Chain A
Amino acid sequence: MSKKKPVTFRPFKATRYSYEKLRICRRCGRYTALGEERCTRCGRASLIPVEKQAVSIAGRKMHTRLLLILLLTLASVYFGQSLQQMALSGAGGIVIAGLVYYTQRKVRQNENLYALNELLGRNILRIKEDLELNRQEAVSVLRENDVLAYEKLREISILLRGDRISRQRVALLHGFQLRKDMVLELEQLLLKDFEPLLAEYIGEIAKVRPDLIKDRTLRYVKNYEVQILEMDKGLAILAVVAGAAVRLKRYALLYSGLIGRYVQELPKDRFLRLSRLIAANPYEPWNGLDAKVAEIRELKYRWDPEV
């Protein structure tokens, strides 16, 4: 009986830029990558995206500069010794202020980005600390609600991409029943070293979402092929990954060695796909894969009219 638990994840909105996940509390300045309504430090509902905060900082700076020019203009008018001098300095000051205002409007977009860059750069240590607190918060709910813990880790992993979070996510995913309709990911979870749970996860993904098996995953599998083979279901994992790799000619050519070693384990539809791929491109450098396919065809599918 399978120990895996059927789960439903909340919809996950991937942002174009990772900093879009980051919010800051306007009251206490705490950063968070989680979707909570209220700041966990001060309890106020004053969390705003960092970009919005940067826009407000840039606007405030521009207003201050303009205000200083206007104040200096007022001072020059105040110290005027004649009406003509006062009018001249007033008009001069207004022209200068107008010029600055016009420039500010022209450069506003770029200044907003500079403010954002400065805000993130200046507070990087604080952001790191607060994201670590986010991670600890996710881990703390792990026992009571593993789905919630996974969802939180998924949000944090947009910004923190170390192996530690990926390892925790893989461990959590290991307990869930994976379905085609789930928002699943793979490349983001790949680790620097070998992890049996990750290898099992790759095998499951290759079954439910073969389209997620891409270059980096295939390289990972190729690098740790020996270790995967030593696992209980190692051969099945490698066969299903090889099956997923034959969906693209590029992968079939690049990983012809890996596919060739498990070609006899491929299910019929995958073998058929590979066979057609080779037949359509006979002059490509298949590195002996074409010969192996021909051999298996003779051995297994000799009487099969489809192959």
Chain B
Amino acid sequence: MITYVILGVTFLYAVIQISLYASRQRKPLTREDIDERLLAALNGGDTTRE
């Protein structure tokens, strides 16, 4: 019985992880996004100089 419980927990954990990966994959981050956010955070929103 314990075997199947642990296997069930493993399965649930895997499903959660895969769903997390899938949800992030649906909203992919781009390098441009990261760059823009970093510059905005460092310069208080002023990233106009390029």
* Interaction A to B: yes
Do A103 and B6 touch across chains, with their CB atoms under 8 A apart?
A: no
- A113→B14 contact, CB < 8 A: no
> Does the CB pair B30–A113 fall under 8 Å?
yes
Say yes or no: A190 contacts B34, CB within 8 Å.
no
What is the minimal beta-carbon distance from A186 to any residue of chain B, in angstroms? 11
Our pick among B3, B11, B14, B41 for the contact of A80 (Cβ within 8 Å) is B3
- A68 to B30 alpha-carbon distance, docked (Å): 30
Q: Mark B10-45, 1 if CB is under 8 A from A, else 0.
A: 110110011001101100111111110111011100
Q: Cβ of A187 < 8 Å from any Cβ of B?
A: yes
Check if B14 sits within 8 Å of A99, measured CB to CB.
Answer: yes
B26 and chain A: residue at smallest CB distance: A110
* Residue from B6, B29, B32, B34 within 8 A of A72 (CB atoms): B6
> Which residues from chain B contact A117 at a C-beta distance below 8 Å?
29, 33-34, 37
Residue numbers in A under 8 Å from B6 (CB-CB): 72, 75-76, 79, 89
Bound Cα distance A127, B22 (Å): 31
Given the complex, which residues of A lie within 8 Å of B37, measured CB to CB? 117, 120-121
**Chain A interface size, under 10 / 10 to 19 / 20 to 34 / 35 or more:** 35 or more
Find chain A residues with CB under 8 A from B18 CB. 99-100, 103
Q: B49 to A187, Cβ gap below 8 A?
A: yes
Which one of A155-163, A232-240, A272-280 is at the B interface?
A155-163
Contact string against B for A residues 117-156, beta-carbon threshold 8 Å, 1 for contact and 0 otherwise: 1001100100110010000000000000000000000000
Interface class of chain B by DSSP = helix
A56 contacts the other chain (Cβ, under 8 Å)? no
Chain B: CB-nearest residue to A163: B46
- B39 near A72 (CB under 8 angstroms)? no
What are the residues of chain B within 8 A of A75 when measuring CB–CB? 6
Proximity string of chain A (179-201) to chain B, C-beta cutoff 8 Å, 1 when within and 0 when not: 00000000110100000000000
On whether the beta carbons of B42 and A160 are closer than 8 Å, the reply is: yes
Give the distance in Å from the alpha carbon of A187 to the alpha carbon of B50 in the complex: 7
Residues from 61 to 117 in A contacting B, C-beta threshold 8 Å:
65, 68-69, 72-73, 75-77, 79-81, 85-86, 89, 92-93, 96-97, 99-100, 103-104, 106-107, 110-111, 113-114, 116-117
A12 within 8 A of B: no
The 6 closest A-B pairs by CB, nearest first: A76-B6, A72-B10, A79-B2, A113-B29, A17-B35, A107-B21
- Besides the known contacts A111-B21, A117-B34, A128-B42, 17 further A-B residue pairs in the complex with CB atoms under 8 A apart: A65-B17, A73-B7, A79-B2, A79-B3, A92-B11, A100-B14, A110-B28, A113-B29, A114-B29, A116-B34, A117-B37, A121-B41, A124-B41, A159-B42, A187-B49, A187-B50, A190-B49
